């Protein structure tokens, strides 16, 4: 059987969902980003001067873009798949001959679509404040898409385990946001005192942000190969875990 | 060929509750089959397992010869389910609810549009196609779920209490629709608590109670087991005592209302003859309760 129709049906449904509610999904990141650039870039950044030889404003652009990709690809899948469970229209998929990997691919690609779209909006806004050019398009694009994929998968797993609307905001608030802020969006790890440098290096988001920064402005605190290996490895692991959860029907079937 | 074959199906929920205790059931192709049972008997659990929404604990299910575990794509393609509770996306329009379901079954867009229109028209929802589904009335929501269940032209349609909370007019039109669909060759399994509905629509019946099938037979042979019919007679002039007529059990219910138990062997002619002889004028006659209802209560209690 050809599952492309089923896959596209899920994907378009997901894209329609977040574009229909664009004031909740696309507008807030645009406003937040503009504020970041205004406050950190313009007001504070002018006093900081250069970091690794680039202006502070240019230094923080990649991190801010990637941070919005992370939070939006995650939150798209977690809220969409959780409400699919909650409203029980997951049953529409379960009664039909749709294999689990197609369900997963549909939702994850929906999350990637939102992450990428928001990332592009945020990048567009950043161009109003600074004129960074992208040095390595291929690396930047690869990190961009892989990061969106990874966090869309993580959002899916969160939704599978979630039992209430509170459960879908715990991870984003208490894990993702802190890790993103501590992932070197606003500073270089080289600025941290000794022990904190070691601790920061345990944060996977640090690798993605630095790899993306390398792609955009050619500056990184970490090895790019390591960042790709780590992101790729996590994607493989979370994909396997998601498929296992779907196969067992955890949180979905009695 | 059997449309549905179930062998020794058991279900224990995670909390340890045993909802199905070894169910065996065969439904023949083309049948209009009633699955009856009191609240909590296990009907929805059984339907959930057949439609892959609930994991079974053990047993075998096959649909038109396709094993639900081994050949699940073919098995799923044969079934359409109308669940007991509303389970579509309440933020989507009626049209996209049905279109999405067609997509999940792999039906290409052009064909899906055609089928969606047919199904929505058949359910008299075509005018409501652009209405967001949460704004539909309760009866319309049920009809939307039927349209959705039929979009891939399933060979077996399973309806879990489709007429609950639906007004008389719509219920009648749903009956006609179900009969029409059945006539066109679709096998139908219906659960309902309206026993007159089951009696008039269904040819075969199973009654489930406490997770076990306690009765399986043709509707006509089940009904023929009822040896006594109960009637209520309205009479013209008040009586103070119930008339005594040999062979009939008569109770004076109100001064102008008689409850009569009529053994099939005696029939009604003799009753009326005797009443006339006693100068009791009968104004009207009706069944005391639905026949199936009496049998059902006897079996379940
Ligand atoms: N998720 C669940 N966990 C535990 N027990 C359950 C669950 N779902 C149903 N049950 C129990 O299983 C039994 C059968 O429920 P089911 O919904 O199959 O009954 P039913 O015959 O459809 O009843 P009704 O006519 O009220 O719809 C009930 O006792 C119910 O409480
Ligand atoms: Mg039920």
**Cα–ligand 1 centroid distance for B56 (angstroms):** 14
pLDDT, position A127: 87
Q: According to DSSP H, which parts of B105-218 are helical?
A: 109-122, 138-150, 168-183, 195-201
Q: What is the mean pLDDT of residues A160-181?
A: 88
What is the residue whose two structure tokens read 């009586």?
B239
CA-nearest residue for atom 28, ligand 1, is B40
Instruction: Quick: pLDDT tens for B241-254.
Output: 889 998 899 999 88
Q: What is the pLDDT of residues B7-52, one digit of tens each?
A: 999 999 999 999 999 999 999 999 999 999 999 999 999 999 999 9
Question: Could you tell me if B53 lies within 8 Å of chain A, comparing CB atoms?
Answer: yes
Phi, psi of B19 (to 5 degrees): -90, -30
In this structure, chain B runs to a length of: 301
Contact A213, A62 (CB under 8 A): yes
pLDDT, tens digit, 9 for 90 and up, residues A46-57 = 788 888 888 888
pLDDT band at B189 (very low <50, low <70, confident <90, very high): very high
Output the pLDDT for position B228: 79
Report CA Rg, chain A. 19
Q: CA–CA separation, B84 vs B191, rounded Å?
A: 9
Q: Assign residue B262 a region: left if phi > 0, alpha if psi is -120 to 50, beta otherwise? A: beta
Strand partners, B2: B28
What percentage of residues in chain B have a pLDDT greater than 90? Answer: 71
Judge if the beta carbon of residue B37 lies within 6 A of ligand 1: yes
Question: Nearest CA to CA, how far is A65 from chain B (Å)?
Answer: 31
Which protein residues have their CB within 5 A of the ion that is ligand 2?
A: B 43-44, 84
pLDDT for residue A48: 81
Chain B partners within 8 Å of A254 (Cβ): 13-14, 48, 53-55
Q: What are phi and psi of B106, to 5 degrees?
A: 80, 15
Instruction: Provide the pLDDT for residue A233.
Output: 96
Read off the tokens for B179. 């009969």
- What does pLDDT average to over chain A? 91
Helix, strand, or coil (residue B187): strand
| For residue A132, pLDDT beyond 80 | no
Distance CA A158, CA B289 (A): 53
Nearest residue on chain A to B110, alpha-carbon basis: A5
ipTM of the complex: 0.89
How close, in Å, is residue A248 to chain B by CA atoms? 9
> Mutating which of B57, B103, B108, B146 best tests the A interface, going by the most A Cβ atoms within 10 A?
B103
Q: What spacing in Å lies between the alpha carbon of B84 and ligand 1's midpoint?
A: 11
**A35: which 2 tokens?**
């504020």
More reliable by pLDDT, B60 or A195: B60
Give pTM, 2 decimals.
Answer: 0.88
User: Rounded to whole angstroms, how far apart are CA atoms B230 and A13?
Assistant: 56
Query: Which residue, among A72, A110, A98, has the nearest Cα to A252 in the 3D structure?
Result: A98
Please say whether the beta carbons of A45 and A56 come within 8 A.
yes
CB atoms within 10 A of CB A70: 29
pLDDT of residue B287: 83
d(CA A15, CA A26): 12
Residue range B104-130, pLDDT digits in tens? 999 999 999 999 999 999 888 999 999
pLDDT tens, residue by residue, B277-301: 999 999 999 887 767 777 777 777 7
């Amino acid at each position: 059987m050809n599952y492309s129709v089923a896959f596209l049906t899920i994907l378009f449904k997901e894209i329609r969902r977040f574009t229909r509610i664009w004031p909740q999904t696309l507008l807030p990141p645009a406003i937040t980003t503009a504020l970041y650039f205004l406050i950190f870039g313009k007001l504070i950044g002018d006093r900081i001067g250069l970091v690794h030889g680039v202006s502070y404003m240019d230094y923080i652009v990649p991190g801010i873009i990637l941070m919005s990709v992370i939070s939006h690809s995650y939150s798209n899948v977690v809220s969409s798949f959780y409400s699919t469970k909650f409203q029980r229209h997951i049953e529409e998929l379960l009664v039909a001959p749709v294999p689990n990997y197609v369900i997963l691919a549909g939702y994850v690609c929906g999350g990637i679509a939102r992450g990428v779209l928001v990332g592009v909006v945020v990048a567009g806004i950043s161009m109003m404040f600074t004129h960074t050019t992208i040095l390595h398009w291929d690396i930047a694009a690869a990190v961009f898409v892989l990061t969106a994929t990874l966090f869309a998968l993580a959002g899916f797993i969160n939704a599978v385990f979630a039992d209430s609307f509170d459960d879908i905001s715990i991870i984003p608030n208490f894990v993702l946001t802190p890790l993103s802020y501590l992932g070197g969006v606003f500073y270089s790890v080289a600025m941290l005192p000794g022990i904190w440098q070691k601790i920061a290096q345990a944060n996977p988001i640090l690798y993605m942000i630095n790899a993306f920064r390398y792609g955009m402005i050619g500056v990184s605190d970490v090895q790019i190969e390591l960042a790709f290996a780590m992101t790729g490895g996590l994607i493989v692991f979370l994909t396997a875990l998601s498929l296992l959860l779907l196969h067992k029907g955890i949180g979905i079937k009695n | 060929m059997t449309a549905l074959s179930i062998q020794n199906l058991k279900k224990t929920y995670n909390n340890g509750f045993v909802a199905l205790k070894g169910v065996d059931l065969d439904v023949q192709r083309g049948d209009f089959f009633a699955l009856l049972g009191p609240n909590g008997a296990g009907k929805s659990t059984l339907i959930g397992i057949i439609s892959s929404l609930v994991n079974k604990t053990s047993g075998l299910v096959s649909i038109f010869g396709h094993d639900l575990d081994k050949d699940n794509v073919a098995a799923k393609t044969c079934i359409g389910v109308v669940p007991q509770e509303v389970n579509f996306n309440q933020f989507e329009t009626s049209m996209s609810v049905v279109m999405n379901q067609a997509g999940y079954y792999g039906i290409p867009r052009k064909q899906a549009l055609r089928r969606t229109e047919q199904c929505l028209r058949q359910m008299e929802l075509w005018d409501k196609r652009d209405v967001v589904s949460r704004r539909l009335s309760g009866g319309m929501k049920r009809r939307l779920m039927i349209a959705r269940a039929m979009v891939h032209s399933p060979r077996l349609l399973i309806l879990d209490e489709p007429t609950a909370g639906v007004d008389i007019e719509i219920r009648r039109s749903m009956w006609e629709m179900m009969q029409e669909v059945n006539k066109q060759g679709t096998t139908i399994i219906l659960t309902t608590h309206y026993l007159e509905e089951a009696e008039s629509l269904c040819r075969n019946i199973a009654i489930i109670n406490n997770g076990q099938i306690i009765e399986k037979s043709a509707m006509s042979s089940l009904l023929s087991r009822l040896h006594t019919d109960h009637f209520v007679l309205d009479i013209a002039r008040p009586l103070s005592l119930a008339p005594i007529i040999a062979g009939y059990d008569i109770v004076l219910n109100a001064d102008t209302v008689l409850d009569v138990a009529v053994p099939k062997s005696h029939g009604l002619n003799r009753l009326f003859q005797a009443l006339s002889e006693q100068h009791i004028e009968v104004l009207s006659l009706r069944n005391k309760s639905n026949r199936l209802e009496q049998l059902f209560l006897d079996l379940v209690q």
